[in-house]
Every structure is written in C-alpha cells, then in structure tokens.
Amino acid sequence: QQQVKQSPQSLIVQKGGISIINCAYENTAFDYFPWYQQFPGKGPALLIAIRPDVSEKKEGRFTISFNKSAKQFSLHIMDSQPGDSATYFCAAKNSGGYQKVTFGIGTKLQVIP
Amino acid sequence: NAGVTQTPKFRVLKTGQSMTLLCAQDMNHEYMYWYRQDPGMGLRLIHYSVGEGTTAKGEVPDGYNVSRLKKQNFLLGLESAAPSQTSVYFCASSAPGQGKYEQFFGPGTRLTVL
C-alpha cells in the first residue's frame, strides 16, 4: 500500500521550462513534507520541505505548493536547467511514534537543452 | 565532517553467501536507517534504530538483520543472500529529537546477488 503516491515516474522538460511533480497522501498524521533530490550514483539529499500550515514555500527556483484539504503537494522547478536532471522523491513524516518518513516512488527528471 | 559513509561501495555475492554492510555517521545523530532502492519502488525502509543498542523493523525486514552497538555505527547483515536482495542500499541518519527531521544519506552500496 503506497501511502505517498507520486507522479509522474519520469518527466522530460526543455531547458527554461517548468517541471512539475505531484504527490498525494491519505494519512492525516503526516506533519512534515520534504522533497529529496538524488543525482546518479549519489544518495538523496534534502532539497526543500514544508509543513501543512503553510500553502507555499519557495527557495530559489524550487517551490512547494501544498493543498491540505486535497491532501496533495507538488514541486515546481522554474526555469529548469540541465543540472536539475535527477530523481526527485516526495516524502511525508508521521507525527507520532518514531516519526517515520514515507517516500514516494520517485520521479526521474531529464532537462534537455 | 564526513557525514554518512558506507562500506563497501559495490559487492557481488553468490546466492547463499553472507555479508555485512557498514554505515558510519559523525554527526552524533540518534536515529539511523537502512533503506533499499529499487526501480519503480522508491526508497523502502528495511530496519531503523532510535538509539545505541536499539533496533526495529521497517517495511521490508525479511532476510536482513541489524545491529547498533555504537551510536555512530549501524550494520546491516544478510545471512543468506538471495537474488531478490539485489539492490542499492542506503544508510541515513537524523536527529528528530532536536526537531531536525532532515535525513542525511550515505552514497549507497550497490549489491548484486547472482
């Protein structure tokens, strides 16, 4: 059972375009929503994160949009660059227990010149 | 700071062989995790530890064992490797007790079981 559903699995965007990756969740106990970026041959690294009391967070060209009522959140990459080519994982942290983080299946982004 | 390191980087095993993957972190993090990454499956939690001397099962623990004898180290063992365990394994650490939820990942170990 996939608790965090991520789409699309792969995405090709032209340089300068907008990349959009979507995630949806069901568990209302999630209280922290990070996005991780993974380059080939490397481990994932935190890119940007948001809490559910905020509808949008922007860091440079990267923006998270969060819709609490719809239980959806998305990553927008503005002015996409070839250096953004990587796999992106959305995730959600549980507020209880050991604060487990559940990851989406990942989106492989390719930005073509 | 080296962050999170993993040993080895690559390994090829035959079915039935055993091995241990070592993870070390120098950030004094309480929590450590072992994940496996497979195409189309994302990152799946194998085992985790919330402190020295403690371990717990994650989503896919079968066929693996772990130990956390020292705070900075987290070992993942495969007692009898199977081809289904061919994967890339990532170790991570975090400090949620300090309100810091970011997980820091190692570079991964690519394991092939023939």
B53-101, pLDDT tens digit by residue? Answer: 999 999 999 999 999 999 999 999 999 999 999 999 999 999 877 777 8
Cβ distance of A43 and B43 shorter than 8 Å: no
Which of A50, A99, A101 to mutate against chain B (most B CBs within 10 Å)? A101
What is the share, in percent, of chain A residues with pLDDT greater than 70? Answer: 98
**Mean pLDDT, residues A63-88 taken together:** 97
Say which of B31, B42, B48 has its CB closest to residue A103: B42
Contact A9 B40 (CB under 8 A): yes
The residue-averaged pLDDT of A32-48 equals 97
Q: What pLDDT does B100 receive?
A: 75
Q: Does B4 touch chain A (CB under 8 A)?
A: yes
Distances (CA, A) of A107 to A10, A84, B75: 5, 12, 29
Q: How many CB atoms lie within 10 A of CB B34?
A: 27
pLDDT at residue A2, rounded to an integer: 67
pLDDT at A98: 74
Cα dihedral sign, B43-B45-B46-B49: positive
Contact flag A106-B48 (C-beta cutoff 8 Å) = no
Q: What total number of domains does chain A contain?
A: 1
Mean pLDDT of chain A: 94
Report the C-alpha gap between A34 and A49 in whole angstroms: 4
User: What mean pLDDT comes out for the span A14-36?
Assistant: 95
Range of the domain at A99: 4-112
- What would the mean pLDDT of A84-89 be, rounded to a whole number? 98
Q: Look at strands A56-59 and A4-7 and give their pairing.
A: unpaired
| Measured CA angle at B87 (ends B82, B88), to 5 deg | 145
CATH of the domain at A37: 2.60.40.10
- How close A16 gets to chain B, by Cα (Å)? 27
Mean pLDDT score, A87-106: 89
Task: Write down the pLDDT at residue B64.
Answer: 98
Which chain A residues are Cβ-neighbours of B43 within 8 angstroms?
Answer: 44, 89, 103, 106
What pLDDT score does A24 carry?
A: 97
